[in-house]
């Protein structure tokens, strides 16, 4: 695990700096709350931990819903 310190407005580049996979930016720090902006291609899933855990639980329980909501295609 990499732990770094960043100030408001500073960024972390993920992947090759010439063609980054994504960027994580510290958007706002207010008291004990930090707002983080993630800039990744739509093809890369980015989830809060609790949402990721729910997705895993749903996958383990098997198909139980009629369909899934997917992002719309632009064009």
Is it the case that residue 11 has pLDDT exceeding 60? yes
Q: Where are the domains of the chain?
A: 11-60
The span from the first CA to the last CA of the chain, in angstroms, equals 39
Confidence of residue 62 (pLDDT cuts 50, 70, 90): confident
Residues 21/40, Cβ–Cβ less than 8 Å? yes
pTM, full prediction:
0.71
Residue of 72 and 12 predicted with greater confidence: 12
Is it the case that residue 1 has pLDDT exceeding 80? yes
The runs of H, that is alpha helices, within the chain are 49-60
């Amino acid at each position: 695990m990499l732990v770094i310190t960043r100030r408001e407005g500073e960024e972390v580049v993920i992947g090759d700096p010439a063609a980054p996979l994504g960027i994580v930016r510290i958007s706002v720090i207010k008291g004990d709350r930090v707002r983080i902006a993630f800039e990744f291609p739509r093809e890369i899933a980015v989830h809060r931990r609790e949402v990721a855990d729910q997705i895993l639980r749903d996958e383990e329980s098997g198909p139980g819903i009629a369909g899934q909501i997917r992002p719309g295609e632009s064009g």
